[in-house]
Amino acid sequence: MGSDFGKLIREGQTVLGIEFGSTRIKGVLIDDKGTPIASGSHEWENSLIDGIWTYSLDEVKEGLQDCYRDLAENVKKEIGEELTSFKAIGISAMMHGYLAFDENDNQLAQFRTWRNTITEEASEKLTEVFHFHIPQRWSIAHLYQAILNGEEHVPQVRFFTTLAGYVHWVLTGQKVLGIGDVSGMFPIDSSINDYDEKMLDQFDALVADKGFPWKIREILPKVLSAGEDAGTLTEEGALFLDPSGKLKAGIPLCPPEGDAGTGMAATNAVAKRTGNVSAGTSIFSMVVLEKPLSELYPEIDMVTTPDGAPVAMVHCNNGTSDLNAWVNLFGEFANACGHKISISDLYSVLYNKALEGDDDCGGILTYGFFSGEHNVGMEEGRPLVVRKPDNHFNLANFMRANLFTSLGVLKIGADILEKEQVKVDRIMGHGGFFKTPVVGQQVLAACMNAPVSVMETAGEGGAWGIALLAAYLVNKKDGESLGDYLEKEIFGGNVGSSIDPKPEDVKGFNEFMKRYKAGLPIERAAIDQIR
């Protein structure tokens, strides 16, 4: 197989995907079947400068080049070949945020990442005007907040975009963006796979008195769906990516995408009635809808798949941080008793113990809020355990309650989708919550009341997902949808190991959630009183 990969690399028949995550930039090289050949990475971290979470564009350039250099060195070392060309390239990055440029392509303000919560006034006003939920992290909220702040750079803006859109622009000269990433900038009309025309007009009317020399349509990137032509690598772009000069220009690039879209591709969850849940230190779910929701819900963000289908996203700041803290505490106890136990065995023992607990966790209530959680109105977090003296307090129920509470805020969003009669045939789970076999799947199935699958390939991450979207650009058959391509050419019908929800678990989770919702004032009091 190594020699086969070498031939593909020499002939420029591999596909490259690069994703800019919050703490790591990763590059993955694949063949036409999606098989990973090699990878490279660069570690980086955002900075808090003048109250804004940001990365400099120098850091973006250096990180991209170091990631590519690491990939090239790994290919040379492991396969004995030089990287000089690819069949296609894809660029992805964390969604949302604000990168603004003037008519001479000069950056006008610090890159404001998704992590910033400095646009509350703009978020609330735009949500009211559009009657469409605009989260604080969305690009249009950042632009409107800059307008409300009277920031001097705003009249000079001639283009603003996301991180993926910026890197793609540098590599190709094209001011375009994949529809999934765009849907975290400004609302999308999935009937036309473009910006919502009514809301564009509403925004222009909202700022008309400012007299800006631009209309909102003129400064947003062009919307592209998966499989559409997004330009080719220029000579300047090739040197930007590979300063050694070995990389050739002319390589096609797929539309740049956000990390939510690449997560959907990497989990084969782009078809209607499918979804995925990423569960780790934070948790979010994405469910592909057959039709838009009937009304606005502040708990749910409306985004799209990379090919434009409407997606209901529930984003939770808190996931397994408190659960992990308890597991570590039990590990300390075991070590203090002279029992050395590996971290994987520790998780396995404690997670599996949860399956022995009462369906409703024996009346135990926990909150794993390390940080604030906007969907339940908490601006800070206070991890809590609360119980009545006569509750069935044992290890099994305690662990079960901590697993349930990790998905508590997600469940609130899932209940809204159930009320909207959203049908889900399959949920794909990925992330640390599912590393112990069966347990995380069974708990999520109870939460979502839907079958949950886990595949080994989901661990390849967003860089693999954007590589698959780049492969779709150059390998798709005429008229072949993204969903069909992934199903047939990449996943081959494999849905991984699937677990159906158990009626008793679903009932138990619902009972737990009654206590969870009723007890939120306890969390509120803890935030107010424990300073």
Q: CA–CA separation, 36 vs 66, rounded Å?
A: 20
Could you tell me the domains of the chain? 1-77+86-94+162-177+226-255+458-494 (3.30.420), 321-410+504-529 (no CATH)
Three-state DSSP class for residue 217: helix
Whole-prediction pTM: 0.88
Burial 51-77 (b: 16+ CB within 10 A, else e): ebbbbebebbeebbbbbbbbbbebbee
Kind and range of the H or E run holding 102: none
Torsion sign, CA atoms 307, 312, 317, 321: negative
**89 neighbors 251 (Cβ within 8 angstroms):** yes
Which pLDDT tens digits describe the chain residue by residue (531 residues)? 456 899 999 999 999 999 999 889 999 999 999 999 999 999 999 999 999 999 999 999 999 999 999 999 999 999 999 999 999 999 999 999 999 999 999 999 999 999 888 999 999 999 999 999 999 999 999 999 999 999 999 999 999 999 999 999 999 999 999 999 999 999 999 999 999 999 999 999 999 999 999 999 999 999 999 999 999 999 999 999 999 999 999 999 999 999 999 989 998 999 999 999 988 888 989 999 998 888 899 899 999 999 999 999 998 888 899 999 999 999 999 999 999 999 999 999 999 999 999 999 999 999 999 888 888 988 889 999 999 999 999 999 999 999 999 999 999 999 999 999 999 988 999 888 998 989 999 999 999 999 999 987 655 688 999 999 999 999 999 999 999 999 999 998 776 789 999 999 999 999 999 999 999 999 999 999 998
User: 86 to each of 32, 90, 512, how far by Cα in Å?
Assistant: 11, 11, 52
Coil, strand or helix: which one is 55?
coil
- Which pLDDT does position 430 carry in this prediction? 84
pLDDT at res. 460: 64
Please give the full DSSP string across 257-282, using - where no structure is assigned: EEHHHHHHHHTT--STTEEEEEESSS
Six-digit token pair at 391? 């509750």
Distance, in Å, from the CA atom of 170 to the CA atom of 145, rounded to the nearest integer, reads 27
Q: Can you read off the two tokens belonging to residue 487?
A: 């199903």
Residues whose CB falls within 8 Å of the CB of residue 109, separated by 6 or more in sequence, listed in order: 98, 100, 146, 151, 153
- CA–CA distance, 507 with 138 (Å, rounded to integer): 36
- The tokens 């009545």 sit on which residue? 388
- What amino acid occupies position 421? Q
Tell me the CA distances in angstroms from 140 to 106, 118, 183, 186, 510, one per residue in order. Answer: 20, 13, 10, 6, 37
The DSSP element (H or E) to which 336 belongs, if any, is helix 321-336
Cα–Cα distance measured from residue 159 to residue 270, given in angstroms and rounded to the nearest whole number:
29
Contacts of 265 (CB under 8 A, 6+ apart): 306, 465, 466, 468, 469, 482, 486
In the prediction, which pLDDT does 2 show? Answer: 52
Strands 283-288 and 301-304, by their bridges, are unpaired
Which residues have a Cβ under 8 Å from the Cβ of 35 and sit 6 or more positions away? Answer: none
Instruction: Please name the helix (run of DSSP H) or strand (run of DSSP E) that holds residue 214, with its range, or none.
Output: none
Residue 282: CB atoms within 10 A of its CB come to: 16
Tokens 């494999």, located at residue: 494
Query: What pLDDT does 278 receive?
Result: 87
